[in-house]
Amino acid sequence: MTPLVPPGAQTGFLAVDGGRVRVLSAGDPAAPPVVLIHGGGTDNAAISWYRLIEPLGRTHRVVAPDLPGFGGTTGIEPPGGPWEQAEAVARTMSAAGVESAVVFGVSMGGDVALRLALQRPGMVDGLVLIAPGGLVPVLHNRFAHGAAWLSAQLPERLLVALGAFAGRFTRSTVRAVVHDFGTMPEPVVEEFAREAVRPGGSLAFARYNRATLGRRVMLNYAMGEVGNIAAPTLFFHGENDPMVPIAGSREAAALMPDARLVSVPECGHWAQLEAHDRFLAEVLPFLDRLRNRPADPAD
């Protein structure tokens, strides 16, 4: 079946790390760039950013890659944790000719965006983080955390097989993640189903889980570091998110020198899709602020 291409997007490929990174793009190449990092599970750039590429492309150059192991990116071994994924994003940005950008990230992609800001601050002009990972010390509770850790230790071949089996129940999975299933565009649900049964499609997220789940604590817990991120940051988080507690975004926004949290009622994990109009109402002024910000004399 033909892969999903969001409205207003063009599909291209970049040579990175000996493979091909699929990139959805839009907008004037000379416009200020935004880089969009999708989430984990069986996500890809077309799913997470289905409703955003076209409106963002009116004022910005949009670069939305599929991370290694996801979507249409091929020939690159999935790297594992958010630290390595951030470096993969940095190399993709360089291949696209993007020196720095406002970086968006949702869920796992938010974790990757945080790491990019910490590891390569000069590449991040601002952050837009939607229910980002990396901000909870334990997954839900110690019992759920322990079970998740044990599951992550299973052989990769078994994890991929289990992921493919779970992919048969796509609509139930989406219903469990969002607050109102009726807000989901049907092409997004269909693409999610295709990605869920793609051969090896769950390997990259399995490696992310193995890299971030410690026996008792999360190994990617970044709360002690986020205060070092100077880039202006907008958090956008559904109050009914069953996957990532909003408390982490709230605490991080309070610790960061230039950050704000938008808490969205009656909204689940995919807040940029579920509350699209509210998201645009918040993110477009944020981007205008960054675009019109006076240049730093040190630059």
Question: Which CATH number characterizes residue 60's domain?
Answer: 3.40.50.1820
pTM, to two decimals: 0.95
- Buried/exposed code over 213-229 (b: 16+ C-beta within 10 A; e: otherwise): bbeeebebbbeeebeeb
Structure-block tokens of residue 299 = 């630059």
In this structure, is residue 130 part of a structural domain?
A: yes
Per the model's pLDDT, the better-predicted residue between 175 and 1 turns out to be 175
Q: Distances from the Cα of 203 to the Cαs of 45, 195, 197, 247, 273, in angstroms?
A: 17, 12, 12, 29, 25
pLDDT (tens digit per residue) in 129-159: 999 999 999 998 999 999 999 999 988 888 7
Are 78 and 68 a contacting pair, CB within 8 Å?
yes
Which DSSP state fits 172? H
Are 26 and 19 a contacting pair, CB within 8 Å?
no
Q: Distances from the Cα of 247 to the Cαs of 131, 133, 244, 255, in angstroms?
A: 10, 12, 9, 12
In this structure, is residue 297 part of a structural domain?
A: no
Q: Can you give the pLDDT at residue 162? A: 73
Q: How far apart are CA 106 and CA 36, in angstroms?
A: 9
Q: Is a pLDDT exceeding 70 seen at residue 298?
A: no
Q: Can you give the pLDDT at residue 233? A: 98
Of 85-99, 142-156, 165-179, which one has max mean pLDDT? 85-99
Are 206 and 156 a contacting pair, CB within 8 Å?
yes
Name the pLDDT band for 279 (thresholds 50, 70, 90).
very high
**pLDDT (mean) for 192-219:** 91
In terms of residue numbers, what domain contains 153? 10-291
Q: Are strands 33-37 and 19-26 parallel, antiparallel or unpaired?
A: unpaired
Q: Distances from the Cα of 59 to the Cαs of 54, 62, 87, 96, in angstroms?
A: 10, 9, 27, 18
Are 24 and 46 a contacting pair, CB within 8 Å?
yes
In this structure, is residue 47 part of a structural domain?
A: yes
Q: Is a pLDDT exceeding 80 seen at residue 2?
A: no
In this structure, is residue 1 part of a structural domain?
A: no
In this structure, is residue 19 part of a structural domain?
A: yes
Domain count, the chain: 1
Structure-block tokens of residue 81 = 């944790």
Cα angle value 185/188/191 (rounded, 5°): 150
Q: How far apart are CA 139 and CA 238, in angstroms?
A: 18
Q: How far apart are CA 88 and CA 76, in angstroms?
A: 10
Name the pLDDT band for 81 (thresholds 50, 70, 90).
very high
In this structure, is residue 3 part of a structural domain?
A: no
Q: Is a pLDDT exceeding 80 seen at residue 95?
A: yes
In this structure, is residue 114 part of a structural domain?
A: yes
Residue in 173, 105, 154 with CA at minimum distance from that of residue 134? 105
The answer for 18, left when phi > 0, alpha when psi is -120 to 50, beta otherwise, is: left
In this structure, is residue 211 part of a structural domain?
A: yes
Coarse DSSP helix, strand, coil percentages of the chain, rounded to the nearest 5 percent: 40, 20, 40
